[in-house]
Amino acid sequence: MHNNRPQPNSTIIEVSAGRKALWRDDSKWAQNIVATLPGDLAASLYTQYVARWEKYVAKSGQSRSANIWLRNHQTMITSAMAQFPVHIENLRNEVKRSKLAIDLSAQCHNVMVAGSEAGATIEEVRDEMQQLPKQWGFRVAVPAQTIAQEKSESRDEYQQRVAETVALGQMARMISEDWWARKLEIAYRRFCEHCRIIAGKVRKGVSAYLSRIALRDYCDRKLANQKALAQMVARNEITGEEITLLEAVQASVSNPEIRRHELMVRMRGFEDIAQEQGLVGGFFTVTAPSRYHAFIKGKNGKTYSNKKYNGANPKQTSAYLGKVWARARAKLNRFDVPIIGFRVCEPHHDATPHWHMLFFFKPEHEQIVRFVFADYFTRQGREELRVSNFDFGYWASCFDKETRQLSPLSDMSLIEQTAKRISPRFDYKAIDPERGSATGYIAKYISKNIDGFKVEEDEEAGGAANITAQSVTGWASEWGIRQFQQVGGPPVSVWRELRRMEQDELTKANMATAKACGQKYEREVKSYIELKATKPAIEVARIAADSGSWSMFIEAMGGLFCPRKSQPLSLVYKPMENKYGECVTKLKGLTTKSVTMITRADGWVIGKKRSESAVASALAVSDDNRVSWSSVNNCTVEVDSSHNETKQTVFDHLQHSDNGVDMGTAAAIARGDKITTADGKQIWLDKTAIGMQLRVSAMVEEYESGWPGWDCEEMAPTEPAAPEKSYKDKLRDALQNVALKTDALEKFQHQYWQGN
């Protein structure tokens, strides 16, 4: 910056000696102001300052406005830097962040050791360790855990054990280098993007929604993830199935097209059943007060720096909207006013989030829903909207306290005047079915925020929607913001699990017949009433999900406003242990309280994809050196270039040793898969120092009784089986895995496990 420092137009400076002196003093002051900032930010701000100095001095001969602008922006960036207890240069690259993560985890470890030596309780040690993450603004979150109360425990003892378990999970994270590295990487990335927002690098006409650098990094990460997924496979060691992870991801809602389709199906289902039940719809748009916006758009379409901007980043703005939303929902719940629908979060051109919401409610609740949202979302900064608390006080007084409906004597002109004034912050449109469907109102926003399908122009960004959609998804990824949220209705996870279930035998036969005849299979369409009369609840829900009828699925789950606890279907989980030794849960299937259906099979492992040609050339098996089989037997083999010969030789070996398999299984083994036979043996090819060996080992059958706590024959839920290890044993293992191995740590653990 110092060698090629920008200068104002010489014709402006050379006007007079006073003008020269003004620039000399201002430039020196400005250089000192930006000197405390990172080099790239300093250069960007200084360049913009020079342009503003030139503009204001040429217009009025005064540089005060330019100086105020620079000081404000320097203050905002300095405030953003203040979230880090170390100099920002220590986070500049991955190597520095990795070193810092090691240092921070070691500091937490030292605090833990010191606490143990001082005889502190586990929670006291945790609280002391948490002071370090708090300096960084990091929250040490732990997942929901399955911790059963033991028969010998009192309630107080159980609650104390739960508190200690949570504390140990938090401690395990704070002494983990990986945990710190992830936190630092995300924090630094968001800091950089925040600074670009402040510096004007994120706005219409420059780079809407996401800076060019952040967009490039997002695309690079996305491409790298796709390449990594393409090289990984999921193998089922029980069934022999194999699928690349990329194919699995593309078949899930991570696929933008599938995600968009599912959202539209659910939204349309809400609309259909709402119409059947006489509900009305409303479309709401809410945004944050002006001080959360870095840039504003003028009537000419150009963008200007917002003098009111308080330096908030998109994550902070999203948190503000979420907090207001929670209060408004709580208010409606107290009034016993249910709503259903969807919320879509999308960015303004300068990355500030705002919401679009489409809800259905009873006709008599329309005005109270409108008022509650208008009241809560405009409580901050009402003066800029030219309304006051008095205006909302009058609006509130118009409602009957018992029915929550507007009084016939209300002056609607005053209410509509208030509604018009707050429209820049809160806007409401009642859905008129004669003018268009409710789903049509929100379809544009769903598509625009996923892949831009059927949306030609993105007016907010000023570009093609299918191009800007990538910036929107990158923005959501960068700031960790949830784009879509269903409000009310049955859980979509149940819907997705139902779609994983197999068809009934008759349907499968009809589908096979249609396929054999080269025809498209047409499902028989039946109403919910017909299905309910002849099918059990779980089958009605499965048929609804399989046919893509969200409205029928809602009815099968008990109706629009059925509480979760009263719905006939719910998810079931399997207890499992994570790397921190915590007993968490893994989704396994569905239950109707009397019957349980397992939708997710065990036995899946993740591994690297193997080249079939490479495996075939390296894993050939000779007909020589056959040996008798024991519980673990090896057969040394020779290299052959033919995959078919490898397959045939494996087949012959196994037939000769009374470990008969079919040719398809032999082919899978030749490709390098580990196969589990019906009698519980595992067979695989292993590359060793003495060559390729065909191995067979006896395996303890883990699936004879299903997974712990379930009866496979009746599939009826029982009490989850107790884990083999105690919670203290598991947490001890977790701490040993992630902590620095020192005598002091062992001393701390010993003291606690003995009941310190």
Q: Which of 209, 218, 441, 528 is catalytic?
A: 441
Out of 293-302, 423-432, 630-639, give the one with best mean pLDDT: 423-432
Does pLDDT of 181 surpass 60? Answer: yes
Does pLDDT of 664 surpass 90? Answer: no
Residue 242 in contact with residue 234, Cβ under 8 Å? yes
Q: Which two tokens stand for residue 431?
A: 């859905």
Strands 463-464 and 457-458: antiparallel
Does pLDDT of 137 surpass 80? Answer: yes
Q: What number of other Cβ atoms are within 10 A of residue 711's Cβ? A: 12
* Rounded distance between C-alpha atoms, residue 340 and residue 561, angstroms: 8
Phi (first) and psi of residue 36, to 5 degrees: -85, -5
* Rounded distance between C-alpha atoms, residue 350 and residue 288, angstroms: 13
Strand ranges for 290-408 from DSSP E:
295-297, 303-305, 340-347, 353-361
- Quickly state the pLDDT bin for 448 (edges 50, 70, 90): very high
- Helix spans in 204-358 (H): 212-230, 245-250, 256-276, 314-334
* Rounded distance between C-alpha atoms, residue 170 and residue 582, angstroms: 10
* Rounded distance between C-alpha atoms, residue 642 and residue 661, angstroms: 20
Does pLDDT of 650 surpass 80? Answer: no
* Rounded distance between C-alpha atoms, residue 156 and residue 304, angstroms: 59
- Quickly state the pLDDT bin for 576 (edges 50, 70, 90): confident
Q: What number of other Cβ atoms are within 10 A of residue 754's Cβ? A: 7
Radius of gyration of the chain (CA): 32
Does pLDDT of 548 surpass 50? Answer: yes
Phi (first) and psi of residue 577, to 5 degrees: -105, 135
For position 626, what pLDDT does the model report?
Answer: 36
pLDDT tens for 315-369 read: 999 999 999 999 999 999 999 999 999 999 999 999 999 999 999 999 999 999 9
Q: Which of 445, 528, 580, 752 is catalytic?
A: 445
Average pLDDT, stretch 22-46? 90
Of 683, 702, 710, which Cα lies nearest the Cα of 694?
683
Greater pLDDT, 680 or 356: 356
56 is catalytic: no
pLDDT more than 90, % of the chain: 58
- Quickly state the pLDDT bin for 537 (edges 50, 70, 90): confident
Torsion of CA 720, 724, 725, 726, to 10 degrees: 40
Chain centroid to Cα 550, Å, comes to 23
- Quickly state the pLDDT bin for 680 (edges 50, 70, 90): low
For position 577, what pLDDT does the model report?
Answer: 86
* Rounded distance between C-alpha atoms, residue 188 and residue 180, angstroms: 12
Whether this prediction's pTM lies above 0.85 is answered by no
Does pLDDT of 703 surpass 70? Answer: no
441 is catalytic: yes
Helix (H) or strand (E) holding 594: none
Does pLDDT of 234 surpass 50? Answer: yes
Does pLDDT of 313 surpass 90? Answer: yes
For position 538, what pLDDT does the model report?
Answer: 86
Does pLDDT of 238 surpass 90? Answer: no
Of 223, 378, 201, which Cα lies nearest the Cα of 305?
201
* Rounded distance between C-alpha atoms, residue 99 and residue 741, angstroms: 18
For position 209, what pLDDT does the model report?
Answer: 97
Greater pLDDT, 393 or 608: 393
- Quickly state the pLDDT bin for 648 (edges 50, 70, 90): low
> Which of 202-216, 365-379, 612-626, 636-650 is predicted least confidently?
612-626
* Rounded distance between C-alpha atoms, residue 654 and residue 244, angstroms: 28
For position 713, what pLDDT does the model report?
Answer: 33
Average pLDDT value over all residues in the chain? 84
Helix (H) or strand (E) holding 500: helix 492-500
For position 647, what pLDDT does the model report?
Answer: 59
Rounded to the nearest 5 degrees, what angle is found at the Cα of 716, between the Cα atoms of 711 and 718? 75
* Rounded distance between C-alpha atoms, residue 269 and residue 341, angstroms: 10
Chain centroid to Cα 27, Å, comes to 46
> Which of 305-314, 382-391, 527-536, 657-666 is predicted least confidently?
657-666
